[in-house]
Structure 1
Amino acid sequence: MLLELADIGVNYGAVPALRGVRLEVAEGEIVTLLGANGAGKTTTLRSISGLLRPRSGEIYLDGRPLSSMPAHTLVGQGVSHVPEGRRVFAAMTVRENLLMGAYHDRRHVREDIERVFSLFPRLAERASQVGGTLSGGEQQMLAIGRALMSRPRLMLLDEPSMGLAPRIIQTIFEVIVEINKVGVAVLLVEQNAAQALRIANRGCVLENGRVVLAGSGADLLADDRVRQAYLGEDVSTG
């Protein structure tokens, strides 16, 4: 198993944010994490990438514990994190932002930049433009591209479609599928539950810091609880 969360507990002060979370991501999978605001989705991603320390349980990558590693060393272990809100370097150009993603290994920089530009031709057109002047969709493309520069085995994506136009959302999801096709596993937190589950091998639903439902993407799309709570459908029978 590429990634395994074993009974992870995380607190903010005295308040539990995650309670005994179990989650797995296999090589080459897309796994979607659903839940209402405050359910613990972002906390889960931040725990995996080392930005938060679990108070209990363990996180494993290839069977090796991660929770004692500094966050910056996880990039070298093949984990990249695209946070909510993009967080590009506003005063740096597109190309400079991409170079920051390759800071730990410069051997394949030119090849990797060309790969990002092939996925996002719009970034190639704006290579010399500073990140702060890009549109929201372009900044999201740049954030994903920067994460790809480290050649990850596992990409953590936090709400990549938030605030974007439908046409750009479609592009982002198409790129997630393309990234996955070349062997990158994806753990996706996404408000667009229907679209996320359509591309996912498996999904989990978090409520109040606990996994309350798990299954294949297709099974969750067909589940009445998911359809009502996250897809806005009326599943009453009268």
Structure 2
Amino acid sequence: MSTPQLSKQPAAGGADAVPLLELRDLHVFYGAIEALKGVNLTVGEGEVVALLGANGAGKSTTLKTASGMLSPRTGEVLLRGERIDGIASHELVKFAMGHVPEGRRVFARMSVLENLRMGAYRLRRPDPDDLDRVFTLFPRLADRRRQLAGTLSGGEQQMLAIGRALMGKPELLLLDEPSMGLAPLIVQQIFEILREINEQGTTLLLVEQNAAQALQLADRGYVLETGQVVMSDQAGALLSDPRVRAAYLGESGEH
């Protein structure tokens, strides 16, 4: 079977513009277990879209399927209106999609600088402007550029994972639990930087258990339960919805 070819030309703007990313009726299995049960989701160019849900709801599976790490049994993944579910994840990097996985996954025995250069592997050589951008966003990484990644703090490793993805010049960045295990002050810093990254033109699809932080950053959101989308709305509407507040913000819903 030949590898699908994907246009690198952006979709036209306007109300009827094709979504940057679209997931259509995704059914994804781990063996006999159905992890996604007909997920539908869109991400428009320039948006921040949050994907919320409890552990095991299918959030990471959704990102992995979108980025080609998993293949759906049925359903479609489209980038700018063209199917990409037949394209391997390492090939999708060429089409300006980046994925920051859960758990950071930095190369522990390589330096910060070497990790960042690995993020630009699809390019013939790293662009110095991209490196400068990462160091401007994350000054700590500039200070630790020669340090082994495995010796960084958890927050610094998360910064490195995001910076490494940015070195590939992504137009769409998928982020899986960027706040996991981090101190509140570091979480705040990470989300401020994600806002800046979006304002610089990168579209974000964000999986995050910190619902309040995610919805304050996002334009829109989806809620997954047991592999199905059960709610979708503008971020502000979800943030004020009593069901979301009870389930993800620890509120009882009683007044």
Shorter-chain TM-score: what band? over 0.9
Q: Distance in 2 between matches of 1:210 and 1:58?
A: 15
Asked if 2 retains the 8 angstrom alpha-carbon contact of 1:99 and 1:109, the reply is no
Aligned twin of 2:180: 162
- Tell me which moved more, 36-45 or 107-116: 107-116
5 Å-filtered alignment, 1:1-238, equals: 1-237=19-255
**Residues 138-197 of structure 1: CA deviation (Å, up to 9, x unaligned):** 000000000000000100000000000111101100110001001111000011100100
Give SS of 1:10's match.
strand
Q: What fraction of aligned residue pairs are identical, expressed as a percent?
A: 62
Q: Distance in 2 between matches of 1:26 and 1:47?
A: 18
TM-score (norm: length of structure 1): 0.98
Give SS of 1:138's match.
helix
Q: Distance in 1 between matches of 2:70 and 2:121?
A: 22
Root-mean-square deviation (CA, aligned residues, Å) is 0.8
Give SS of 1:151's match.
coil
Asked if 1 retains the 8 angstrom alpha-carbon contact of 2:219 and 2:234, the reply is yes
What are the ranges of 5 or more consecutive residues in structure 2 without an aligned counterpart? Answer: 1-18
What is the letter of the counterpart of residue 192 of structure 2?
E
Give SS of 2:239's match.
helix
Give SS of 1:27's match.
coil
**Residues 108-143 of structure 1: CA deviation (Å, up to 9, x unaligned):** 521111100000000000000000000000000000
TM-score (norm: length of structure 2): 0.92
